[in-house]
Amino acid sequence: MPTPDLAPRRSRDPHDDTKDRMGTVPETADDAVSVQMIAPDGRFEPNAAAEEFLPYLERLDDDLLRRFYRDMVVARRFDTEAGHLQRQGQLALWPPSLGQEAAQVGSAHAARPQDTIFPAYREHAVAMIRGVDVVDIIRMMRGLTHGGWVPAEHGNFHLYTLVIGSQTLHATGYAMGVGFDGAATGDPARDEAVMVYFGDGATSQGDTNEAFIWAASYQTPQVFFLQNNHWAISVPVTRQSRTPLVARAAGFGLRATRIDGNDVLASYAVTAKQLDDARAGRGPGFIEAMTYRLGAHTTSDDPTRYRGADELAEWEARDPIARYRHHLESRGIVDPAYLAEVDREAADFVADVRRRTLALGPADVGLIFDNVYAEDHPVTREQKQWLQGYEAGFGEAR
Amino acid sequence: MSATTWTMAKALNQGLAKALADDDRVLLMGEDVGALGGVFRVTEGLSARFGTGRVLDTPLAESGIVGAAIGLAMRGYRPICEIQFDGFIYPAFDQITSQLAKITARHEGSARFPVVIRVPYGGHIGAVEHHQESPEAYFAHTAGLRVISPSTPNDAYWMIQQAVASDDPVMFFEPKSRYWPKGEVELESPAAGMHTTRVARGGTDATVLGHGAMVSVLLQAAEVAAKEGTSLEVLDLRSLSPIDYGPILRSVEKTGRLVVAQEAPGFASLGSEIAATVAERAFYALQAPVLRVSGFDAPFPPAKLESVYLPDADRVLDAVDRALDY
């Protein structure tokens, strides 16, 4: 396990800085060692922190390595297309995943089929990999549903949760249930684990901190996957925390690792180990994936109002897809024909998404009433009947 | 029919024990519910009988209790949460109203969330701030929750089992000042479902309606009124959401007068809702406006003033007199 380097870049006493109290924020939250397999230029150069995770890369054959690339490219094309659809008035909102593809694709492939995943609302790549039809995410963002899919039939991938951090407690309760259902058998192909995604903003929420406490207390088979994308809408992560977020985890009693979140192999290997440790009964784990939200928070946001072009350029230079493509090319795992084929597949994929989005019909009025309660309820039943009569009345008048 | 005499605390304890015994997916979780048996001893002995894997002493975090219960329900469990006191429910408000209440609709029929949240509530116990409140209207206002409150040991015994059996989230408000008086409990079968209004005492001149601890105040008022020659019909609401209006409307058709009493502040309260609905549905039967008797629109006062704040039989009878004078 890497030891976080807590030394600040600049020597300072945060309690003796009037400017901090007035609203500026320190720059210390990035200072910790991250597991890295692929250097930003694409060379395979595992750092010291990566050593214990290297055996997990042996699970990857060339097909899977190519699959990671394909998923990252398709996820990005889909995300871009969804943004266009929003701009064209087809969606109410879109929260882009641009820049976070490596964190999501690596961790999603590390999960086993029997695992259960709780997303926040930006995990489009994870959803895709777990078998969710992305048009169901589109339906949600178009205002046709608050949910969109049946988790048990789509890779145990739960519904998006929009209130920040709420899903961390659901995941922890679910993982408690996994624990109550029986101790680990020792068979990783059978034992279950739970993974919950959340962001750096969520680490300030009470629910998230309560989830850490409960997970540690009940030793749940669970991994907390934090995508530190550095911005909670307009507020930098340094406002959320003056210590590296990964350093907090130890205080809760969670096995914690920080990774280069733009390195898909680091994301895969560390998540695979953390999940297998969790499923084997070694208690809850925590991963902080250092990544960056290259796009806006959502299509309603304007990041030029609060962050500089320099910072954006710095992270664009660490683009997860370009880095991984260079890596695969240098190992001879992909050739130009394969890359062109993936681009074609991505183009076909989003053309299909666009076609099906434009074909979506209206929402059924019954949706207002039908599943408010699982059992019969006189109020929703009577109000639905009333509405039907009211609307039928207009029909007769015509 | 076999029957026994229990306090409400004992009746709840036995109802919870039956629910735990009947279905091993039922869990009890909350602060101090294990070895201590809860601060009101309602869960006494259950941890010893069912084990710490079924009766969970949780970390001290109300949002955590409800949020984790939602996850457990997703896993197929049927959690019963205890919130230690009425005034401590607000840290869980988001998980209850934004998650639990809406999550069945969000799943569009693919999942059920049979979570029961037990809340000891109300005054009359001389306690410090945050320990005597009546927050039930917040939850009755929120679609997706069922809200019920027993007033007798018999109802407590059966309604807690009915709440656990429901596939919907149920807010179960326990009138803590009624934990200790004894009452008869039928052990064979319940007299009614959990969503029915009960006629607690028949009468002809005016109807008085309340829930939880208020029902005993109303019965007391009816005794006094009877001595003065006024016949009051006492209704025990039992279900705060949905409200069973049938017995209320039938009673008002008969008496023409309705007084709704509650410990909670009157503004935007259950009493307000009932008054509006009765006016809409029984306008021509009413001989007087529906009157409300409530706690004042002020925070629950220090305990030495609770008897001034809480509606008593005299305040109920004052409203009955005003209704009869119309």
Burial grade of B84 (CB within 10 A; 0-12, 13-18, 19 or more): buried
Query: In chain B, which residues have their Cβ closer than 8 Å to the Cβ of A378?
Result: 242
CA distance A91 to chain B (A): 19
What residue type is B2 in one-letter code?
A: S
Contact call for A372 and B143, based on CB within 8 A: yes
Cα B155–chain centre separation:
10
Specify the residue for token string 């050739």: A335
Question: What is the residue-level pLDDT of chain A in tens, covering all 398 positions?
Answer: 444 444 334 434 444 444 555 555 444 555 679 999 999 899 999 999 999 999 999 999 999 999 999 999 999 999 999 999 999 999 999 999 999 999 999 999 999 999 999 999 999 999 999 999 999 999 999 999 999 999 999 999 999 999 999 999 999 999 999 999 998 899 999 999 999 999 999 999 999 999 999 999 999 999 999 999 999 999 999 999 999 999 999 999 999 999 999 999 999 999 999 999 999 999 999 999 999 999 999 999 999 999 999 999 999 999 999 999 999 999 999 999 999 999 999 999 999 999 999 999 999 999 999 999 999 999 999 999 999 999 999 976 55
Residue to test with chain A: of B25, B26, B72, most A Cβ within 10 A = B72
Domain ranges of chain B: 3-186, 198-325
Residue to test with chain B: of A157, A198, A214, A367, most B Cβ within 10 A = A214
CATH code linked to domain B198-325: 3.40.50.920
CATH code linked to domain B3-186: 3.40.50.970
Please give the pLDDT value at position B185: 98
Catalytic residue, candidates B124, B131, B195, B211: B131
Which of B27, B73, B99 shows the shortest C-beta gap to A166? B99
Q: Which CATH number is correct for A14-358, 3.30.565.10, 3.40.50.720, 1.10.287.990, 3.40.50.970? A: 3.40.50.970
- Which ranges of chain B have pLDDT less than 50? none
A297 is catalytic: yes
Q: Could you give the angle at the alpha carbon of A152 between the alpha carbons of A150 and A156, nearest 5°? A: 105
Query: In chain B, which residues have their Cβ closer than 8 Å to the Cβ of A205?
Result: none
d(CA A78, CA A91): 14
Residue of A nearest to B92 (CA): A207
Give yes or no for a cis peptide into B242 (omega within 30° of 0).
Answer: yes
Closest CA to A267 of A122, A88, A68: A68
B232 is written with which tokens? Answer: 């009051």
Could you please report the per-residue DSSP string of B47-72?
HHHH-TTTEEE--S-HHHHHHHHHHH
Query: In chain B, which residues have their Cβ closer than 8 Å to the Cβ of A117?
Result: none
Domain B3-186 and domain B198-325 have a common topology? yes
Contact call for B67 and A207, based on CB within 8 A: yes
Contact call for A147 and B68, based on CB within 8 A: no
d(CA A213, CA A398): 61
- Scanning B168-187 for CB atoms below 8 A from A yields 168
Helices (H), chain B: 8-22, 46-50, 62-74, 93-94, 101-106, 136-140, 153-165, 214-227, 245-255, 270-281, 306-309, 313-325
Cα B21–chain centre separation:
24
Q: Is the ipTM beyond the 0.90 threshold?
A: yes
Please give the pLDDT value at position A10: 40
Could you please report the per-residue DSSP string of A262-285?
T-HHHHHHHHHHHHHHHHTTS--E
pTM to 2 decimals?
0.95
Contact call for A373 and B104, based on CB within 8 A: yes
* SS3 at position A383: helix
d(CA A323, CA A332): 14
Residue of A nearest to B54 (CA): A180
Could you please report the per-residue DSSP string of A302-358?
-GGGTS-HHHHHHHHTT-HHHHHHHHHHHTTS--HHHHHHHHHHHHHHHHHHHHHHH
Please give the pLDDT value at position B202: 98
Please give the pLDDT value at position A14: 42
In terms of DSSP bridges, do strands A194-199 and B258-265 run parallel, antiparallel, or are they unpaired? unpaired
Domain ranges of chain A: 14-358, 365-397
Which of A169, A174, A207 shows the shortest C-beta gap to B75? A174
A117 is written with which tokens? Answer: 């995943």
CA distance A145 to chain B (A): 8
CA distance B50 to chain A (A): 14
